């Protein structure tokens, strides 16, 4: 995780996509690449901001970054952010 924070410090971006979505069933979050359920195994929601709040009924993708204290926010999938990917 320390390496990830160093990457963030080098970038001007404050929002990043990670692979989570609840596009199929509201509130049923899973990793799109693997199909694996996210909750209740692990969550990192920005609960201080009442996330996930599905604002406007259209927040079905997962963002992460310093703007939310390195916690998760659900947001419309139409936003254009850089993505964080895992490398083997």
- Taking the least distance from each CB to Ca ion, the nearer of 27 and 87 is 27
- Residue position matching structure tokens 């936003």: 79
Distance CA 46, CA 72 (A): 5
Length of the chain: 88
Count of residues touching Ca ion (by CB under 5 A): 5
Residue 22 lies near Ca ion (rule: CB under 5 A) = no
Which of the residues 45 through 64 are near Ca ion (CB under 5 A)? 51, 53, 59
**CB of 41 vs Ca ion, minimal distance in Å:** 21
- Taking CB under 5 A as the criterion, the residue among 20, 63, 72, 73 binding Ca ion is 73
Distance CA 31, CA 64 (A): 14
Distance CA 76, CA 60 (A): 6
The residues of the shown chain that bind Ca ion, judged by CB under 5 A, are 51, 53, 59, 73-74
């Amino acid at each position: 995780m320390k390496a990830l924070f160093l990457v963030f410090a080098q970038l001007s971006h404050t929002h990043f996509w990670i692979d989570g979505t609840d596009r199929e069933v509201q509130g049923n979050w899973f990793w799109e690449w693997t199909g694996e359920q996210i909750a209740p195994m692990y969550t990192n929601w920005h609960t201080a901001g009442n996330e996930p709040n599905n604002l406007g009924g259209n927040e079905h993708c997962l963002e992460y970054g310093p703007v939310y204290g390195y916690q998760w926010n659900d947001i419309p999938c139409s936003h254009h952010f850089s993505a964080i990917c895992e490398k083997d």
